[in-house]
């Protein structure tokens, strides 16, 4: 099973002002002060980032996408997301930090509290592939620089992901900035996260 992430399946959670969608490419121009975060450490809530998703009740699948970006301001980010509601969601992305390094990381938010797991990568990287896999309520996030050799970022559980879920892409600029995020090679496949035996 390999399916394209087709346009007629897509639905915006907060439609951005500037974007383009065609059969092979999705472009989002981020707006300043947009983000996804819930409470932890900062004690504030940001729930205004645009997310473009499709819905499924398939409990075993993988979603793959290539992201290309020209971010240059702190926390600029684009990547994959599973957004159920404002208090239960997952995101994975590269977040720009400075001219030397950026953070490859993921956030899991359950019951209104976010975490943030990261590793530093060079600031010169401006494209990456993500593979998001589902096994019931559990998810695996992987990344690859070449679209082939995926490495694990995280395994996590998401509350309320019992049946239908929504998943897809997002882009945002938490501070006073804007950048172009490009998404290509979107596809849905058989679950590449195999059962542990």
Q: Tens of pLDDT along 113-152?
A: 999 999 999 999 999 999 999 999 999 999 999 999 999 9
Would you say 133 and 140 are in contact if contact means Cβ atoms under 8 Å apart?
yes
Total number of domains in the chain: 1
List alpha helices for the chain, DSSP H: none
> Phi first, then psi: what are they for 7, rounded to 5°?
-60, -35
In angstroms, rounded to a whole number, what is the distance separating the alpha carbons of residues 172 and 34? 5
Indicate whether 164 pLDDT > 70: yes
| 103 in any annotated domain | yes
- Decide if 21 is inside a domain: yes
Q: What pLDDT shows up at residue 91?
A: 98
111 Ramachandran zone, left/alpha/beta (phi>0; psi -120 to 50): left
Q: Is residue 195 part of a domain?
A: no
Count Cα atoms within 13 angstroms, Cβ side, for 10.
20
- Measured distance CA(185)–CA(57) in Å, rounded: 22
Supply the pLDDT for residue 5.
Answer: 67
User: Looking at the domain assignment, is residue 65 inside a domain?
Assistant: yes
In the predicted model, what is the mean pLDDT of residues 98-122? 97
CA distances from 122 to 48, 58, 75 (A): 28, 36, 14
CATH number at residue 184: 2.60.120.200
Domain of 84?
A: 2-189
Is the pLDDT at 157 greater than 60? The verdict is yes
Question: Do the domain assignments include residue 197?
Answer: no
With respect to residue 146, please indicate whether it lies within any of the assigned structural domains.
Answer: yes
**Please, which pLDDT band fits residue 196 given cuts at 50, 70 and 90?**
confident
The yes-or-no verdict on residue 188 having pLDDT over 70 is: yes
| Cβ neighbours of 140 (radius 10 Å) | 19
Q: Does residue 196 form part of some domain?
A: no
pLDDT of residue 197: 73
Query: Maximum CA pair distance of the chain?
Result: 48
Distance CA 178, CA 171 (A): 10
Q: Please report the pLDDT score of residue 8 as a whole number.
A: 65
pLDDT of residue 2: 59
Exposed/middle/buried for residue 122 (C-beta within 10 Å: 0-12, 13-18, 19+): exposed
Distance CA 68, CA 46 (A): 24
Q: How far is the C-alpha of 157 from the C-alpha of 154, rounded, in Å?
A: 10
> For the ranges 6-10, 115-119, 185-189, which has the lowest average pLDDT?
6-10
Tokens describing residue 146: 């070449």
């Amino acid at each position: 099973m390999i399916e394209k992430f087709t346009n007629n399946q897509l639905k915006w959670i907060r439609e951005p002002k500037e974007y383009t969608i065609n059969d092979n490419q999705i472009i989002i121009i981020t707006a300043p002060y947009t983000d996804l975060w819930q409470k932890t450490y900062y004690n504030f809530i940001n729930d205004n980032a645009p997310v473009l998703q499709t819905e499924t009740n398939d409990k075993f699948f993988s979603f793959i996408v290539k992201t290309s970006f020209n971010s240059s301001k702190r926390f600029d980010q684009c990547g994959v997301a599973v957004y159920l509601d404002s208090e239960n969601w997952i995101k994975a992305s590269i977040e720009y930090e400075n001219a030397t390094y950026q953070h490859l990381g993921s956030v899991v938010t359950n019951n209104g509290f976010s975490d943030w797991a990261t590793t530093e990568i060079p600031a010169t990287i401006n494209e990456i592939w993500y593979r998001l896999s589902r096994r019931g309520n559990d998810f695996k996030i992987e990344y690859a620089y070449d679209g082939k050799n995926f490495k694990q970022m995280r395994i996590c559980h998401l509350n309320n992901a019992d049946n239908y879920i929504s998943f897809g892409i997002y882009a945002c600029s938490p501070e006073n900035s804007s950048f172009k995020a490009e998404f290509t090679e979107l596809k849905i496949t058989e679950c590449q996260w195999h059962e542990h035996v």
